Amino acid sequence: MNKQLFNFVDYLESKKTVDDRALNRVVLNKMCDYLHEMARQKPLQIVEIASGIGTMLERLIDWDLLPSATYTMVDVNEKYILCAKEHIQAWAKQQNIKFIEFDDKFFLQKDDKKFEINFCIADATSFFSKTHEKYDLVIAHAFLDLVNSEELLPLLFGAIQKKGAFYFSINFDGETIFLPQINADLDQKIIYDYHRVMDEQKVGDKTVSGTKVGRNLFAYIHNAGGKIIEAGSSDWTVFPRENRYPHRENYFLHCIIDTVSQTLTDQINYNINSWITSRHDQIEDAELVYIAHQLDFFGII
């Protein structure tokens, strides 16, 4: 992976409102209805793999989608787990959510709902290979393109109890659109190479699922023994309103353009410096529109 110019924690923060708008509400509501049905029988055990700085947990509680649950956040990067702890604490305070820290766990109470939050620094494959827990729900958000998900899913499904569920959101599906056009041929060439290089990434000796993970998940889920209950688009659509981007979405866009630039460093034999500068300028001038096609899935085992 190329060294990123931007701060990844700030990127994940700035991505939150983009994800908020993008998440497919039909898929999300199916997941939520199923969870509430399961929660009538017993307290829920949820794990989120590659949880980053914890924005999904905050969203699910803010939107009142979660019944009481034990929620385990797993990420390979210790820094993000530490950030998640800081973030959740600050957010709970801001939202007037009762917060207690004990024994490296967080206990939250919002109205009549109680949440126990556990944190785990681990790689997804080793976590699912080693865990003895059977979860009611596994969440993976903006993650499955980064690993070999065809190989990960059988392990991941092995950690879900019978009739337990999975929710895989924001799975990239091979369309990147930047508007307005700079030069039709160059735009097309850059996006082609950007996707090509992403698809050539390896983790260890394994190729990543990459840019087509969205559409490929239909087969991967089926082959690993999962049953898709609902699926639908969750495209990122970022555009200026009244000459400005909402929240910190201008920062998010600068990160995306930096990612294109870093991904293509030493990977192409033509110069894209002026294209990159023009795209950053378009953000400064509140002109750039960015669309990335993605898919969400909810299903059971």
Contact between 80 and ligand SAM by CB under 6 A: the answer reads yes
Closer CB to ligand SAM, 251 or 275, in the complex: 251
- The reply to whether 159 sits near ligand SAM by the rule CB under 6 A is no
229 binding ligand SAM? (CB under 6 A): no
Size of the site for ligand SAM (CB under 6 A): 18
Residue of 28, 83, 124, 217 interacting with ligand SAM (CB under 6 A) = 124
Between CA 225 and CA 41 the distance in angstroms is: 24
| Closest separation in Å from C-beta 89 to ligand SAM | 17
- Only one of the segments 61-69, 71-79, 210-218, 286-294 lies at the binding site for ligand SAM (rule: CB under 6 A); that segment is 71-79
63 sits in which H/E element: none
Given a contact cutoff of 8 angstroms between Cβ atoms, the answer to whether 168 and 296 are in contact is yes
Q: Which of 123, 199, 230, 287 binds ligand SAM (CB under 6 A)?
A: 123
Q: With respect to ligand SAM, which residue has the nearer C-beta, 50 or 272?
A: 50
The one-letter code for the residue type at 131 is: T
Q: Which residues, in sequence order, are bridge partners of residue 75?
A: 121
For ligand SAM, the binding residue among 9, 39, 65, 76 (CB under 6 A) is 76
Q: Which of 18, 35, 52, 67 binds ligand SAM (CB under 6 A)?
A: 52
Asked if 117 interacts with ligand SAM (CB under 6 A), we say: no
Helix (H, G, I), strand (E, B) or coil at 127: helix
- Give the residue with the Cβ less far from ligand SAM, 43 or 246: 246
208 in contact with ligand SAM (CB under 6 A): no
* Whole-number Cα distances in Å, 105 to 117, 119, 159: 6, 7, 21
Angle formed at CA 8 by CA 295 and CA 206, multiple of 5 degrees: 60
116 touches ligand SAM (CB under 6 A): no
Residue 141 lies near ligand SAM (rule: CB under 6 A): yes
Name the 3-class secondary structure at 81.
Answer: helix
Q: Which is nearer to ligand SAM, 13 or 136 (CB)?
A: 13
Residue 255 within binding range of ligand SAM, rule CB under 6 A: no
- CA 128 to CA 24: how far, in whole Å? 26
Q: Give the CA distances from residue 21 to residues 25, 59, 165, 234, in Å, rounded to whole numbers and listed in that order.
A: 9, 11, 23, 8
Q: Binding of ligand SAM at residue 57 (CB under 6 A)?
A: no
Part of the chain binding ligand SAM (CB under 6 A), chosen from 64-72, 75-83, 89-97, 184-192:
75-83
List own/partner pairs for 261-268 with CB under 8 A and 24 or more apart: 261/5, 262/2, 262/3, 262/4, 262/5, 263/2, 263/194, 263/197, 263/198, 264/190, 264/193, 264/194, 264/197, 265/2, 267/193, 267/197, 268/193
Segment interacting with ligand SAM, rule: CB under 6 A, options 50-58, 90-98, 233-241, 247-255: 50-58
Burial group, residue 56, by CB count within 10 angstroms (0-12, 13-18, 19+) = buried
Backbone angles phi, psi at 284, to 5 degrees: -60, -35
- Closest CB to ligand SAM among residues 8, 107: 8
Contacts to ligand SAM by CB under 6 A: 12, 15, 49-52, 55, 75-77, 80, 123-124, 141-143, 146-147
